[in-house]
Structure formats: structure tokens, C-alpha cells
Structure 1
Amino acid sequence: MGRRHPGAPTLEEVAARAGVGRGTVSRVVNNAAGVKESTRRAVQRAIAELGYVPNLAARSLAGQRADAVALVMTEPRWRQFAEPFFSEIVHAIGDALAGTGPQLLLTLVRSDAERRRFLEYARGGRVDGVLLMSVHADDPLPDMLAEARLPTVLMGRRSGDERVSYVDADNAGGARSAVAHLLATGRRAIATITGPPDMYVAQCRLRGYREALASAGLDTRPSWVAEGDFTIEGGHRAMTRLLERHPEIDGVLAASDTTAEGALEALRAAGRRVPEDVAVIGFDDFPLAERTAPRLTTVRQPLEDIGRTMVQLLLQEIEEPSVAWRHVILRTELVVRESA
């Protein structure tokens, strides 16, 4: 745990810059009467110089709030609503928020310009807190929100040293359990298809794969690893590359269920039987895992629990703005079906 960093310019800092009292700044911000024009101009100049954004929710002496929470998707490449992961987590978060009061606002932030616009929107008091998903390692938005003192909770994390509140699944442990199952069923030439390498979730699943193979004294060379992007198309391409490099493959851990579906398609096209020739395990346990042929063995992420815990943490931070950031990691579960 740790404390939040100093945030955006405050009303007191504007007052000090303008050489006036806090109440005068408040009257200028609220366009109240009784302020000399020269004083008003001095305050407005200080606001511009400091980049101060009035918090609309904080203006009310009664402590009124925006009664809204933003769910921000930051993935620039995926077709968000075409991938099961996004619809599943939106559903889980929506259910968790139901009956709690705040309205859920769904927002896409995919560029620097959109990031700046959203930050100004959020700092203006239009939302009480932010839920972030699909954050890549180099994304500055979580830090920008924390510095602006906006309650923020991530789904997943950018690194092992994340300093913003997050809820994550035990991705490395889930991958280890999947590889252990493949080994227990006699597989020895086991490859993996990863997610995007700049996402910590993908790094953790790859690490778990490598740890399990290393513990068994088996090959973990780079040629057994193919990069994917959590999509069906990416899984198909990666599986095709793996078959070209290692036709002796008899087991595959895919970093997501959609990736696994693409791998199954590539194996069928190559004339490989699943699981007789090659066993396949996915990760997520989306409904599509029940519809693949054969049905997909996969590592289940507790998405409902993740969504519920994210909402709980965020509401707590909204109620107690000075609360330390918190990290929660939830267990995964291997679901065995016909593909492995």
C-alpha cells in the first residue's frame, strides 16, 4: 500500500498566486457578484497559469456529488465490443454498480488528445471516480488521474510495481496450473501463444508457462513462444507459425479463449486433431469456450468477482479520498473440457 501523490492545483494555490483569499477565488469561480473587476482578472489569470480546473462536485457546501462513475477503455487496437472480454467485464461492473447510486459512463480513451480531454472532464467534477481496463505498460492515464486526486481503480495492472489501486487475477498461477495439466496428461512439446507483450497480464501468463516447464525440466526456448493479441485472428496466425517451427507440438497454452479459438482453427486447417494430436488450453472461460469444437479447457478468471471488487474499492475511495491505494489478486480455476 502507499499514499496518493500530490494532485492538481488547489483553490488555495490559486488564491496565493492571485494574492487574494480562498473565498474570493470561490466567488470568481462561481461567477458571484461583489468582486472587483481587477481582482476577478487577477484570479482568472492565476487559474490559467496554474491550470486549475474547478471541481463542480466540490462547489456544493452540502457535499453533493456527480453520482457518476466512468469506465474507461484504453485499448486502441481491439474492436472492443466484438471481443467477449469487454462485454463480460462491462456486464460484471454494471451489475456490481446496480442499486449503489452512481450512473456508469462508458468512455473510450485511445490517444493523447482523448486522454487530455478525459482528464479535464473528470477533474471538472463530472464523475466521482474512474474504473480503468486494458491499460498498457506505458499508459500515463492512471498516474494523471491519481495526481488529480481522482479515485481510480484498474482492472489488472501495468507492472509489478503498480501504485494505483487495482484488482487482478492470479495470471501466473493460472498459467502454471494449465501447463501442469498438460504435463499430467503426457504432453511434453508444449508451446504458448501470448497476449501483447506490453501488457502485464500477458507477461504474467507467459511467466507462469515458463515456470511450470522449467520445474519439469522441459524446453522454454523463445521458438516455443508465439506472440498474439488476444484475438481469434492473432491466435490463428501464431498457431500457424508454431506449427511451422515445431511440427512436433503436442500441447498449447493460449493466453485467452479467443486466441485459443484461432489456434483451434489453425490446427484443423493443418489436419491436426484436438486433443488427440495437440491439446489446447485457453484462458478466461468465456461462453465461447462451451461452443468451440471440441469444447475448450480453459483457466477461469472470476470476472464477476473482479467487477464487484473494483466497484467496492472505488466506492470506498470516493467515500474516503485519503485512503491508501489497495491491491487485490483473485484466484483462478482450471476448467477441464474436451480440448485438453
Structure 2
Amino acid sequence: MARETKRSQGRSALRLVDVAERAGVSLATASRSLSGSDGVSQAVAAHVRHVAQQMGYVANAHARTLAGGTTSVAGLLVYEVGDPYFAEIASGVVKVAATHGWSVQIGHTERRASDEAVQLRLMRAHRVGAIVMAGSGYVDAAMEAEAEKELTAFEDDGGRVVVIGRHHVRADAVLADNTAGGEAVAAHVLGLGHRRLAVAAGPDHLTTIADRLTGIRAAVAAAGLDPGALPVVHAPFTREGGRDAVARILAEHPGTTAVLALNDAMATGVVSGLRDRGLAVPGDVSVTGFDDIQVAQDLSPALTTVRLPMTEMGAVALELALRPAAARPRRRHLAHALVVRDSTAPPP
């Protein structure tokens, strides 16, 4: 115990100047390297971080905050921290943060738009250095007004903001291929011969839902069908939401042969709801999802879905946030991939 206490005291006595001297760099370069700031090559920054780790040096972020600066902490705002979609995005953010010597503070809104501004204010109070918003934007810009005020104030104070998805916010953005993905999965089902389709969609106020529906309707129109007649049932973006949606679909549109769920969590609920009613997947009804969360391939049957590079989305978002602001907001478009598994087959 005494040896451990002595070791801890020795580490706490280390100063940034000691790290700089050992690494053979200036004090300013050492500071930039450990904070992930711009102006230092990756090789030099990695060398300084390695030296600091060997010496047991830990930057005093609390002291920097008290001095009025920001910390080497990124704020990540998600809808639901337990949702596999956001968990995979978070893994990408955390990996990039670790390589730059940053940590991550996660806030979640429990899918309530009113909580976004509250969580953003908390992040600003903790003086995070960057914010990544991973939840969907809203079709109605007014729903983002309070959050936009917080983000604008944060950027005016020198913070960096990156959003994932289509938002009414002037900021760098990482954009998933939602529209093309929706078109691809609908074209697949139509190509199998299905003509009685229905959609189990999430809340209609989300831009993610609007974009995926736009793609599905485009494929329906290309097949010579009326996209306006396509049944769309909105429910929570969860497994239980999928169960509720498929119950309504079967009640209101009997004879449906394929259900397109707009995320994988809803798709699992759709499959469960069909089984409860004695309907086989895909023998009686085909089911598709969206996102390709890790469990999608382990379901029985394995889920046909649209794969989005969620971990990469998180990684790219934080990489953008750690760069200096550009004159115009940057856009990074990431591609989708249709993954055909066992949950889809020709109609009975």
C-alpha cells in the first residue's frame, strides 16, 4: 500500500514540461499533442503520447476547465444509449477519441426532442471540446430550434460540432445513404415478386424515416405501382414498436406478403408478432430491416437488411470534429450495402 501511494504521488508530481523535455519537444507541442489540437504531425503527437504514458503523466483537465478552457472530452448525444445502432456509433467515436488522447461523455435523450437542448447545455457546462449529435434530425425545423441555439452558441465559443444524419443545423455532417438504401431493399422485395408490401416505420417526424420512405416509394413507383397506396404504419423505433406495427398491418391490410421495417429493432418485433399469429417468415410473409446491427445475422431466420457503416459513421464524425472549422460545413457521405439473408423469399 505504501509503495502504491508513493508511486501515485510521484505521478501526480509530474508536469507537462517534464513530458516535453523527455520527448524532446517544446512545451506548446507537448500540449497540442496531448490535447489532440491541430498543428502537430501524427507521428510527433503519437511519440509525445507514448512518452507521457511511459512516464505515467495524466493531464489535469479539471485545472484547464477552471482556467476557462475546454477539456479533451467529446460530447456524444444519442437517442438511447442501449440501442445497438447508437452503441455501434459510440464504439467508433470512442476508438477515435482514444487515438487522440480524448475521452467521451455520452448523453441520451430517451427519444425526447425536448431533452436535446438540456443535454447540450450540460455538455457545454462541462466544457467539452467537441459535440457529436448522433440522433436523427427532424422534418420540422422548429423541433430543432432550441438545440440549434445551443450548438450555435457552443461554436461561437470555439467548440466544434458534427451531426450524423440530416439536420437543420449549420454544422459538419456525416450522412448515411438512407434514401438509396430504402430504394435497394424495396427493389429486392419487389424483384422477388411481392406486390402487397407494407412498411413498419418509426416516428414520422424524423428525417431518417422520411429519407428511407422516399427511397422505398421510388422503388415502388419504378415497379409500376402506386407509391401513394403503399401502407405505412408509424410506431416507436423499437422492438415493441415493430410488434405494434405488424399487428396494425395485418388488421388493416390482410394479405400483406412483405413487411419492410425501417430499422432492425422494429424488424425483430415484426418477426415476433408474425410468429405469435402463426405466420412463418419468410414462408408466409417476408421481412426486411435496416442498419444491420450485429444481432441481425443471428436471428432465426437471419434478417435481410440494409447495412450502414455505423462504427465508421461515429469514427468519421469525431475525426471531423477534431479538425479546425471550415469556411463551409463539410459533408461526408457513407455508402450502404444490401445484405440478403433468409428472411425474404418469393411470395406464397
Alpha-carbon distance between aligned partners in 1 of 2:180 and 2:82, rounded to the nearest angstrom? 28
Is the deviation greater in 132-141 or in 270-279?
132-141
Over 3 Å counting, the alpha-carbon distance change for 1:329 and 1:322 in structure 2 is closer
The separation in 1 between residues aligned to 2:220 and 2:239, in whole angstroms, is 25
Confirm or deny that 1:72 pairs with 2:77: yes
Q: Which residue of 1 aligns with 2:82?
A: 82
Task: List structure 1 runs of 4+ shifted beyond 3 angstroms.
Answer: 56-60, 108-114
Residue 44 of structure 2 is matched in structure 1 by: none
Kept in 2, the 8 Å contact 1:251–1:280? The answer is yes
Native 8 Å contact 1:58 1:65 kept in 2? no
CA separation of 1:117 and 1:154: change in aligned 2, threshold 3 A: closer
Q: 2:152 corresponds to which residue?
A: 146
What are the within-5 Å matches in structure 2 for residues 123-272 of structure 1? 126-137=127-138, 138-140=143-145, 141-149=147-155, 150-158=159-167, 162-221=169-228, 224-272=231-279
Residue 198 of structure 1 deviates from its aligned partner by 1.2
1:88, distance to aligned residue in structure 2 (A): 1.6
Check whether the contact 1:190–1:251 (CA below 8 A) recurs between aligned residues: yes
Distance 1:239 1:125, change over 3 A: closer
- Counterpart mapping for 1:104-123 below 5 A: 104-109=104-109, 115-116=117-118, 118-119=120-121, 122=124
Native 8 Å contact 2:309 2:336 kept in 1? yes
2:104 is paired with a residue whose SS is strand
TM-score by length of 1: 0.73
Structure 2 counterpart of 1:92, which letter? G
Is contact 1:142–1:152 with CA below 8 Å preserved after alignment? no
Which residue identity lines up with residue 270 of structure 2 in the other structure? Answer: A
Tell me, in whole angstroms, the C-alpha distance in 2 between the residues paired with 1:293 and 1:235: 16
Q: Does 1:326 align with 2:330?
A: yes
Instruction: Please state whether the residue corresponding to 2:163 is helix, strand or coil.
Output: strand
| Structure 2, gaps ≥5 residues long | 1-63
Alignment equivalent of 1:294, drawn from 295, 301, 311: 301
Query: Could you list the per-position Cα deviations for residues 178-236 of structure 1 after superposition, in whole angstroms to 9, with x for gaps in the alignment?
Result: 01111111111111111111110011011111111011111333561111222010001
CA displacement at 1:331 relative to structure 2: 0.8
Supply the distance in 2 between the matched residues of 1:81 and 1:116 (Cα, whole angstroms).
16
Cα–Cα, structure 1 residues 113 and 194, in superposed 2: closer, same or farther, change >3 Å?
Answer: closer
Unaligned runs of 5+ in 1: 1-55
In structure 1, what is the Cα distance between the partners aligned to 2:216 and 2:115?
37
Question: After alignment, is 126-135 or 111-120 more displaced?
Answer: 111-120
Deviation at 1:148, TM superposition (A): 3.4
What percentage of aligned pairs have identical amino acids? 32
Number of the residue aligned with 1:100: 100
Letter in 1 for 2:106: L
Give the conservation status (yes or no) of the 8 Å contact 1:194–1:205: no
Deviations for 1:248-306, whole angstroms, at most 9, x for unmatched residues? 11112110001001111111122222112211110011122122221101100111221
Letter of the 1:130 partner, please give it. Answer: I
1:120/1:261 CA distance change after superposition, 3 Å: closer
Structure 1 residue 151: Cα displacement = 1.0
Helix, strand or coil at the partner of 2:144: coil
Shift of the 333–58 alpha-carbon distance from structure 1 to 2, 3 Å rule, reads farther
Residues 210 and 287 (structure 1 numbering): CA distance in 2 closer, same or farther, change over 3 Å? same
Distance apart, 1:144 and its partner CA: 2.5
Native 8 Å contact 1:223 1:245 kept in 2: no
Question: Shift in Å at residue 135 of structure 1?
Answer: 4.2
Q: Distance in 2 between matches of 1:114 and 1:172?
A: 25
Aligned counterparts of 2:333 and 2:273: Cα–Cα separation in 1: 33
Match of 2:290 in 1: 283
Secondary structure, in 3 states, of the residue corresponding to 1:172? helix
Q: How much is the aligned-residue C-alpha RMSD, in angstroms?
A: 2.4
Cα pair 1:193 1:227 within 8 Å, conserved? yes
Deviation at 1:125, TM superposition (A): 7.1
Contact 1:142 1:164 (8 Å CA) reproduced = no
Q: 2 CA distance for matches of 1:116 and 1:234?
A: 26
Secondary structure of the 2:322 match is helix
Return the TM-score normalized by structure 2: 0.72
Query: Counterparts of 1:114 and 1:206 in 2: how far apart (Å)?
Result: 25
Q: Distance in 2 between matches of 1:231 and 1:293?
A: 18
- CA drift of 1:164 comes to 2.0
Is the 8 Å Cα contact of residues 194 and 227 (structure 1) preserved in structure 2?
yes
Give the Cα–Cα distance (whole angstroms) in 1 for the partners of residues 294 and 67 of structure 2.
46
